[in-house]
Homo-oligomer: A and B are copies of this chain.
Amino acid sequence: MLSAGVVGGTGYTGVELLRLLVMHPQVELQCVTSRSNVGTKVAEMFPILREHTDIAFTEPDDAALGGCDIVFFATPNGTAMTMVPALLERGARIVDLAADFRLTDVAEWQHWYGIEHACPDVLSEAVYGLPEINRGAIADARIVANPGCYPTAVTLGFLPLIEEGLIDDQHLIADAKSGVSGAGRGANVATLLCEASENFKPYAVDGHRHLPEIRQTLGAVAGHAVGLTFVPHLLPMIRGIEASLYAVLESTNVDVHLLYSQRYEAERFVDVLPVGSMPETRTVRGVNMCRIAVFKPQGKDTVVVSAVIDNLVKGAAGQAVQNMNIMFGLTEDAGLRNVALLP
């Protein structure tokens, strides 16, 4: 039985993590911290947990957290980096669901996040937690940087083509769409039901923080910098990301469906759909899965990939649990075998 701590369990990523952890057969939820809710029962804030845990929020405390086998940070960007060094020293292992340890280049990180990094040394040790490319390193990591939601979908979607060097990687297009839960549980006019439902729009066209993260991973795979246009859009729904990816093939002869099927054959949480099937976000709602389809429309030289995930699961809390399973040698899908809701 692993003892787990969660720092910042009051956002959507946090509560999704709690949902997965209370159902995980090999995890005991030790503490959930929230400065502003100390003493409140977790199930009072989130009635979905009423039958499942009696735990209350506590102050973040180095001793209590440091005594856990695994500590998850589901905090705003910039929080984990101030607490992680002390917890590592006490022997806890860490999965950070925020962005503090995602970019390996400190200057780049500081450019996009607008603050100074509190522990560059830990940053240099952190492993980027995308199991499909880093499984081995994750197993040994003390600290895992859980990928962003868009980067998970876009990276898994482009990966086989980049690995094989089959496309013009200087003009990659990622047209991504996310449900509103990606924007978090903060009070915000733009994400009110009255603003975001019956509406659709692109945003952050000039530069989203997930752009350098995707470029970093794909560039490392390619062995050189890639050129990527990444346009996120806001969907009028709660959960789900769909990324439609476009690139020009160097040759139209490649069997792209076969390429993807073979690349992901052994991956428990990547599902390449049969020829002719299109991914739908609802088929991954609530589950740790990325479903992918790949096409050459009209037999032309432009390849189209569509990848879907639940932004809160494979794009956040589910992937965090998957990383934990790998770090502690559990079956990779332990606690992650539930079926998506339909409808």
Contacts and interface: CB of A to CB of B under 8 A. Distances in A.
A12 B338 CA distance: 18
Contact of A238 (B197, B206, B235, B340): B197
A159 B63 CA distance: 49
A180 B180 CA distance: 16
Given A193-B191, A304-B231, A242 B181 contact: no
A114 interface: no
A343 B194 contact: yes
Contacts of A60: none
A339 interface: yes
Interface in A89-146: none
Nearest to A240: B200
A3 interface: no
A51 B271 contact: yes
B343 A271 contact: no
A192 B194 contact: no
A194 B297 contact: no
A297 B246 contact: no
Instruction: Count identical subunits in the complex.
Output: 4
Interface stretch (A73-81, A258-266, A283-291): A283-291
A165 interface: no
Contacts of A48: 283, 287, 339-342
Contacts of A51: 268, 271, 289, 337
A226 to B, nearest CB: 12
Contacts of A1: none
A86 interface: no
A246 B339 contact: no
A200 B242 CA distance: 7
A223 interface: no
15 contacts: A15-B342, A47-B291, A171-B248, A177-B177, A192-B193, A198-B198, A198-B238, A198-B240, A199-B281, A201-B278, A201-B281, A205-B293, A206-B297, A227-B302, A338-B338
Interface of A: 12, 15-16, 19, 22-23, 46-52, 171, 173, 175, 177, 180-181, 185-189, 191-203, 205-207, 227, 229-231, 233, 235-240, 242, 244, 246, 248, 268, 271, 273, 277-283, 285-287, 289, 291, 293, 295, 297-298, 300, 302, 304, 306, 308, 337-343
